[in-house]
Amino acid sequence: MPSSLFPTIHPTSWLSPSNQFAFGFYQKGSGFAVGIWLVGTDNNTLTVVWTANRDNPPVNSKAMLDFTRDGKILLRPEQGGELLIASVKDQVSYAAMLDNGNFVLCDKDSKMIWQSFDYPTDTILGGQTLFAGTQLLSSLNESDHSSGRFHLKMQSDGNLVLYPRNSGDTAGDAYWRTGTLSNGFKYHLSLNYTGRLILINESNLKIIYHFYPGSSSSSSNNTIYRATLDVDGIFRLYSHTYNSVSLLWSALNSSCEVNGFCGFNSFCTQDDDNKTVCRCLPGHDFVDLNQRSLGCQRNFSEARCIGGKGNADFYYMSTMENMVWGDTAYFAAPMSIQECSRSCLEDCNCGGAFLKNNACEKQKPPLRYVRRDILSGYTAVLKVGLKPILKKQPVVSNTVVITSKIAMVQIVLVTSGFTILSCVALAIFGRFIFKIRVLMYKWLLKNGSLGLPKEVTLRLFTYNELKRATNGFKEELGKGSFGAVYKGSLNKGKKLIAVKRLEKLVEEGEREFRSEMRAIGRTHHKNLVRPYGIQIGVRD
């Protein structure tokens, strides 16, 4: 066989001598996966029995499957990197796809040092064993062989059990079991070449449990047997001949017997065509209409739990006949259906109850493992949000919207009015300040520069600025005929100033003030102050 394979270059697989099994690339969605399959009569019909790295995404047509000289089988995606499919420490001489569906690596003495039979996915074939501590894991669907929702465990205690995945694998989660306890011995599941499926004691090879006796017919030599944990969670035994497939044995009769076949808050039943379907419990809708097995969610708002009779204001109890509940109850006691219904209604933890043989078994939400069985005769009661609450919600919502719109209009009007008044006030105040400034500058223009030298430029101060600079005209330095002089400072105390505050300024006083300013402006002495600024007009 060639040492490398490609998804679209012939050959894309390595065939067994009888051409019944192939190892290589097979189509998975828009890409390719590596696995082993049972080849159909037209070489196009595939029954996949093993997948390498099953939860990895498919590779594209540029990938390569490589059997290296050091005994590794590597998947090399186009984007680079290596995905290990098989590896051994010993020297490998060759790889082979056997007629029993086992892909093996052998040394130079043809001793098998690696085999796919040791790493089962969802299937065991004739001649294969499921040892204690190992499991089969169902596929996601018929065309996607990624890990699915159920697993079959060959437990170390000798019990062969079916569970939903991610359920905790408790006794309450199990939906099928052999009930075989090993008492310290190791049991394993074995399928031989005649189709006999048994549970056997490894130490003394004693048969513990018979699933299917097998065939004694000579035609069985041309028959391939496989036991598969199917997508729906049921473990089944099949036989394959040249042109047919037959179901020989099934652990369960119906998919509805599988815990978790339908998701939370839904129940499993048969439609008019006897097809298994999932439907929502009262008060719930499908999470995804295209994948109804994912379960359902509440279509009512959960009210704050009051407990007791107060809960009757928010919920009512819906009754369903011929129901079976596979989950473990958190409470069980003898009751009539009326007492059971009332007990669940008044219990904050109760999402529903199951009345079986006059015993009330209460369940916490989310509700799971529910199915309809017309032969059971059992009754279920479900807590559902009151319909009147749901009907009133749109009315309440519209009222809230209308009220909100009125309130919004009122807020906008008040805000707009306040904004307009603020703008008017600011305009009036600005105009007043502008007029004061104009009067100040007119006074300066009218009176020139007080006769000061050109190099002396006065800064215009406000009354409040000078008041702050002198700390409220607190420290008086002296007093003349027309006003007092106060000590002050500017620039955070860095510049000391003297402020003369004129009182009762008349024409004569103004002339005296001008003369004083001219004298100071023309005199330069270290002990004499110099003009720095002026404040004109009324107090601010």
Distance from first CA to last CA of the chain, Å, rounded?
A: 105
Side chain identity, residue 57: P
Count of C-beta atoms within a 10 Å radius of residue 293: 19
How far apart are alpha carbons 324 and 354 in whole angstroms? 8
Q: Report the pLDDT value the prediction gives residue 24, as an integer from 0 to 100.
A: 95
Show the tokens assigned to 295: 């379960």
pTM, whole model, 2 decimals? 0.69
| Contact indicator for 341, 320 with CB cutoff of 8 Å | no
Contacts of 466 (CB under 8 A, 6+ apart): 488, 499, 535
Q: Report the pLDDT value the prediction gives residue 92, as an integer from 0 to 100.
A: 86
**Tens digit of each residue's pLDDT (9 = 90 or more) over 261-310:** 999 999 999 988 889 999 999 999 999 999 999 999 999 887 777 766 76
Contacts of 114 (CB under 8 A, 6+ apart): 86, 87, 88, 92, 104, 105
**Tens digit of each residue's pLDDT (9 = 90 or more) over 41-91:** 555 568 999 999 999 999 999 999 998 877 788 999 988 888 889 878 888
Q: Report the pLDDT value the prediction gives residue 71, as an integer from 0 to 100.
A: 78
Annotated binding site for ATP: 500
Give every residue of the chain whose pLDDT is below 70, as ranges: 1-2, 41-45, 217-220, 307-308, 310, 387-410, 412, 414, 430, 432-458, 460, 481-482, 503-530, 532-540
Show the CA angle centred on residue 140, arms to residues 135 and 146, nearest 5°.
Answer: 70
Report CA-CA distances (Å) from 530 to 464, 475, 491. 21, 19, 17
Annotated binding site: 500
Tell me the backbone φ, ψ of residue 61, rounded to 5 degrees: -70, -10
Q: Report the pLDDT value the prediction gives residue 274, as an integer from 0 to 100.
A: 86
